[in-house]
Amino acid sequence: MATIGELARQHTALSKEQISHLINLSSEWGMLADLCFSDLMMHVPREDGTWIVISQVRAATGQTLYIDDRVGMTARPGDVPLIAKAFDTSTIVEDEIFFEGVADDCRMMAIPVVHQGDVIAVMSREWSRRTGRQLGELERHYLDLFNTFASMIVRGDFPFPGRVADSSVAPRVGDGAIVLDGKARVRYASPNATSALHRVGISTNVVGQTLAELGVTDSSVRQAFERKEPVVEEFEQSTEVTLLTRCLPLVVTTDGDSEVTGALMLVRDVSELRRRDRLILSKDATIREIHHRVKNNLQTISSLLRLQARRLQSAEAKAAVTESVRRIRTIALVHEALSREPGDDVAFIEIVRPLLRLVEESLQSPDRPMRFEVMGDGGRLPATVVTPLSVVLTELLQNAVDHGYTEGDGGGSVVVRLGCTDTELTVAVIDDGRGIAPDFSLDDATGLGLSIVRTLVTTELAGSIEMRPARSEDLEAVGLTVVEGNTGTVIELRVPMEGE
Ligand SMILES: Nc1ncnc2c1ncn2[C@@H]1O[C@H](COP(=O)(O)OP(=O)(O)OP(=O)(O)O)[C@@H](O)[C@H]1O
Ligand SMILES: [Mg+2]
């Protein structure tokens, strides 16, 4: 469906400012319709003399006359004379209108919408007196307010310029309405507003008193009166109760001087909403804290193992324990990254980088200088994928260094290449080392390192592994060249990703 801005641009020659005035007005639509218990339509004139409806709203407080959506249609022929009259005379006009199927007594009020002295549209209020509400105190106050806003629209005082409050949380009339007079004293409080005030402990008769006298924060009211523009404020009246208020000043401008004659304050009790927000926040914080503690515990374990390795005599045992230390530190690294993230996923690159540093620190030796580099991006991955993948990556990097080069031969380069699509993540570890033996077969490899890799990739990640001597294009793609006698090795992992 076309938006109000699109329709106005398409059918009229209105300027950008004029159109944004109409858009601002339509964001106050709900409130205005609720105040007058009626349907509202916004009409703009086309070059050819016809009128088109660019916005429509039904009242949450009353019955609608329109079952169909009329946005984008031309105005009903019977309505045009009244609409045109309001437009031509710049005054509010009201008359009876006829509705198919509705017996009688339908009325329309046509309100010219003025922007900087020019009539740019006509807003119509349409209602049936038969199905309308009985006039009680609430109805009188609301209609009074509607008429005040209508005259503000005709003078160009309403809608207020600037950004309009986020309508998804902003209080509506039905949430609770308090009418204030020119001295900010309460003239009327709707039943829902009275209940909201009850919840914050105000049970006296509020009429005639200011909010400050009642013990309610009135800074939004003071600001609205001073700045002559609407003010949204949320305040915790007590630890249990949070109120969201929107205070709209009622402004009368004559000869450039504007005066605030009162205000409408909409009140919404958002305590439950905020309580849930806080719960979610604290749950996130708890998860982060747990990751942090897991990381600390893993670091303690790896320190203990390192101490143990130092005391071991057998070189083989020492190497085995040292490798375990490295594996544990890798997992700790993942938890550290997760402890910084609000959710349960993390940008893989944020883990790969520190992982490379970790490997660099632990494997570097002066006789075999190694260069590590990462290329591409792995996107954001859930914790369940990141942890096994990081362990796998550590093994592959360790293997590249251990088996690709010999001490004293000048070292080499290892590149981690990441790539991701919506459905698949690829991780390749490419080295320019000696290369795998011609009779090497991944399936027959019995070392612990590749067994870990195989188990994690095929079972936990449901992915596949390919291990092969590097082809020249593999090496070129990542800027490597092999020295005489070497072939280089590529190990490529493919992990399917679940769509969002
Ligand atoms: N990048 C590589 N270049 C050359 N050979 C490799 C490479 N990666 C693995 N290999 C070969 O695969 C074999 C098995 O590796 P695996 O990681 O399973 O065991 P390991 O490294 O020997 O021992 P562990 O990892 O348990 O300490 C290695 O011994 C080596 O021959
Ligand atoms: Mg290994």
Cis bond before residue 77 (omega within 30° of 0): no
Spatial contact of 90 and 114, defined as CB atoms under 8 Å apart: yes
DSSP 342: S
Ligand 2 centroid to 348 CA: how many Å? 22
Buried b (16+ CB within 10 A) or exposed e, 321-337: bebbbbbbbbbbbbbbb
Say which ligand is closest to the CA of 404. Answer: 1
Sheet holding 489-496, edge to edge: 370-376, 412-420, 424-431, 489-496, 464-469
pLDDT-derived band at 98, boundaries 50, 70, 90: confident
Alpha carbons 421 and 245: distance in angstroms, whole number: 46
Q: What is the dihedral angle through the alpha carbons of 296, 297, 301, 307, rounded to the nearest 10 degrees?
A: 50
- Closest protein CA for atom 26 of ligand 1: 448
Ligand 1 centroid to 447 CA: how many Å? 7
Comparing 118-127, 174-183, 240-249, 279-288, the range with the smallest average pLDDT is 279-288
pLDDT at 267: 92
Nearest to 126 by CA among 33, 4, 52: 33
pLDDT at 163: 63
pLDDT of 131 above 80: no
Ligand 2 centroid to 485 CA: how many Å? 22
- Closest protein CA for atom 19 of ligand 1: 447
Specify the higher pLDDT residue, 15 or 101: 15
pLDDT of 374 above 70: yes
In this structure, what are the phi and psi dihedrals at residue 210, rounded to the nearest 5 degrees?
A: -90, 165
Ligand 1 centroid to 440 CA: how many Å? 10
Ligand 1 centroid to 461 CA: how many Å? 21
pLDDT at 296: 94
Say which ligand is closest to the CA of 323. Answer: 1
Say which ligand is closest to the CA of 400. Answer: 1
Mutate to test the pocket of ligand 1, among 450, 454, 487 (most ligand atoms within 8 A of CB): 450
Q: What pairing do the DSSP bridges indicate for beta strands 412-420 and 370-376?
A: parallel
DSSP letters spanning 114-151? EETTEEEEEEEEEEETTTSPP--HHHHHHHHHHHHHHH
Say which ligand is closest to the CA of 448. Answer: 1
Protein residues near ligand 2, an ion, with CB under 5 A = 399, 449
- Closest protein CA for atom 28 of ligand 1: 403
Nearest to 105 by CA among 123, 124, 130: 130
Q: Give the number of other Cβ atoms within 10 Å of residue 91's Cβ.
A: 13
pLDDT of 169 above 80: no
Mutate to test the pocket of ligand 1, among 330, 399, 442 (most ligand atoms within 8 A of CB): 399
Report pTM.
0.60
pLDDT of 500 above 60: no
Nearest to 222 by CA among 257, 265, 160: 265
pLDDT at 103: 62
pLDDT, average across residues 374-398: 92
Specify the higher pLDDT residue, 131 or 151: 151
Buried b (16+ CB within 10 A) or exposed e, 233-269: beeebeeebbbbbbbbbbbbeeeeeeebebbbbbbbb
Comparing 276-280, 299-303, 423-427, the range with the smallest average pLDDT is 276-280
Ligand 2 centroid to 91 CA: how many Å? 86
Atom of ligand 1 nearest to the CA of 323: 27
Q: What is the CATH number of domain 366-500?
A: 3.30.565.10
Ligand 2 centroid to 453 CA: how many Å? 9
pLDDT of 304 above 70: yes
Listed as own residue / partner, the contacts of 437-440 with beta carbons closer than 8 Å and 24 or more positions apart are 440/467
Alpha carbons 214 and 201: distance in angstroms, whole number: 10
pLDDT at 168: 63
pLDDT at 274: 86
Q: Give the number of other Cβ atoms within 10 Å of residue 48's Cβ.
A: 6
pLDDT, average across residues 439-448: 87
Ligand 1 centroid to 348 CA: how many Å? 25
pLDDT tens digits along 102-113: 666 889 999 999
Burial of residue 190 (number of CB atoms within 10 Å: 0-12, 13-18, 19+): buried
Alpha carbons 187 and 495: distance in angstroms, whole number: 67
pLDDT tens digits along 265-300: 999 988 888 888 888 888 888 888 889 999 999 999
HEC string for 147-205: HHHHHHHHHCCCCCCCCCCCCCCCCCHHHCEEEEECCCEEEEECHHHHHHHHHCCCCCC
pLDDT of 466 above 50: yes
- Closest protein CA for atom 2 of ligand 1: 400
Ligand 1 centroid to 400 CA: how many Å? 8
Residue 376, phi-psi category: left (phi > 0), alpha (psi -120 to 50), beta (remainder): left
Q: Does domain 4-135+142-155 have CATH number 1.20.140.10?
A: no
Residue ranges around ligand 1 (CB below 6 Å): 323, 395, 399-400, 402-404, 431, 433-436, 445, 447-450, 489
pLDDT-derived band at 341, boundaries 50, 70, 90: confident
Class of domain 173-269: alpha beta
Spatial contact of 332 and 298, defined as CB atoms under 8 Å apart: yes
Atom of ligand 1 nearest to the CA of 450: 18
Find which of 47-51, 256-260, 429-433 is predicted with most confidence, using mean pLDDT.
Answer: 429-433
In this structure, what are the phi and psi dihedrals at residue 482, rounded to the nearest 5 degrees?
A: -95, 150
Atom of ligand 1 nearest to the CA of 433: 3
pLDDT tens digits along 39-70: 999 999 998 889 999 999 999 888 888 888 88
Percentage of the chain beyond pLDDT 90 is 58
